[in-house]
Amino acid sequence: MVENKKKTTIVLFSGEYDKAMAAYIIANGAAAYDHEVTIFHTFWGLNALRKEEMVPVKKGLMEKLFGKMMPRGADKMGLSNMNYLGMGPKMIKSVIKKHQAMTLPQLVEMAQELDVKMIACTMTMDLLGLQKEELLEGIDYGGVAAYIGDAEEGNINLFI
């Protein structure tokens, strides 16, 4: 008897806290329902995988500028709406704390514990000047083919 494994794949393109949070809530929920889950982080979605601390790596001028302009880590990402010069993220984090919900960094950590496959897009890393040392431990690296390989067998495929 052949068992068909349920698969969920997510392309995380957005670098906004609330959208990344939604992606990780869905990913963790699918993993809890025994799905194999892949999140392919590309462009601004890579910020969810950045380490919060500064990592000394050699970069050119353009890569240094991108690195300074992008949020360092999931907790530093802005909101898609109601950002209000940084007040929006503080407000939503206050509401999350009040309701004892999980923060985005906690959701990322949970995804790693649930064996969610997190892929960092290497083409985007090259474009933005991000290096493996600047990203979280335990993630995978690949291009579009890595995502397509999982997505073509997916039961649920999302773009966030």
Over the stretch 23-35, which tens digit does the pLDDT of each residue have? 999 999 999 999 9
- Residues, the chain: 160
Beta strand residue intervals within the chain, DSSP E:
7-12, 36-41, 117-121, 140-142, 156-159
Q: How confident is the model at residue 62 (pLDDT cuts 50, 70, 90)?
A: confident
Strands 156-159 and 140-142: unpaired
The sign of the torsion formed by the CA atoms of 141, 147, 149, 154 equals positive
Those residues with Cβ within 8 angstroms of residue 86's Cβ, 6 or more apart along the chain or in another chain: 78
Q: What is the mean pLDDT of residues 86-115?
A: 93
